[in-house]
Amino acid sequence: MTTTKITLSLPTTLVERLKALVPPRKRSAFVAEALRERLEMEETLAVLEETAGILSAEDYPYWDTDEDIDRWLREFRASWTIPDFSEA
């Protein structure tokens, strides 16, 4: 993986907490992982906002309540079959 060196300005208290918790040669990886996780969360939230309301209650009446969803899932999963490889 290639890396790029950048300069960031962070609150002093945040840097102090980082130094107290993470060894010096591990801090870049720690910050990179935290940033990656946050970016994934933000991207996921953007997709959720973009797709909110795409399924209408009128089109999926069997998802009205938690009980309806549980019933639908049980019925849907009951149609699944497990192949029998014992006689292969």
Question: What's the pLDDT tens digit per position in 13-38?
Answer: 999 999 999 999 999 999 999 999 99
The reported pLDDT for the residue numbered 88 is 60
Cβ pair 59, 52 in contact under 8 A? no
60 lies in some domain = yes
Q: How many domains does the chain have?
A: 1
21 lies in some domain = yes
pLDDT class for 60, splitting at 50, 70, 90? confident
56 lies in some domain = yes
Q: CA 33, CA 83: separation in Å to the nearest integer?
A: 41
What's the pTM value of the predicted model, to 2 decimals?
A: 0.63
The reported pLDDT for the residue numbered 62 is 84
86 lies in some domain = no
3 lies in some domain = no
Q: Which domain holds residue 66?
A: 12-78
Q: How far apart are the first and last CA of the chain?
A: 45
22: left (phi over 0), alpha (psi -120 to 50) or beta: beta
1 lies in some domain = no
43 lies in some domain = yes
72 lies in some domain = yes
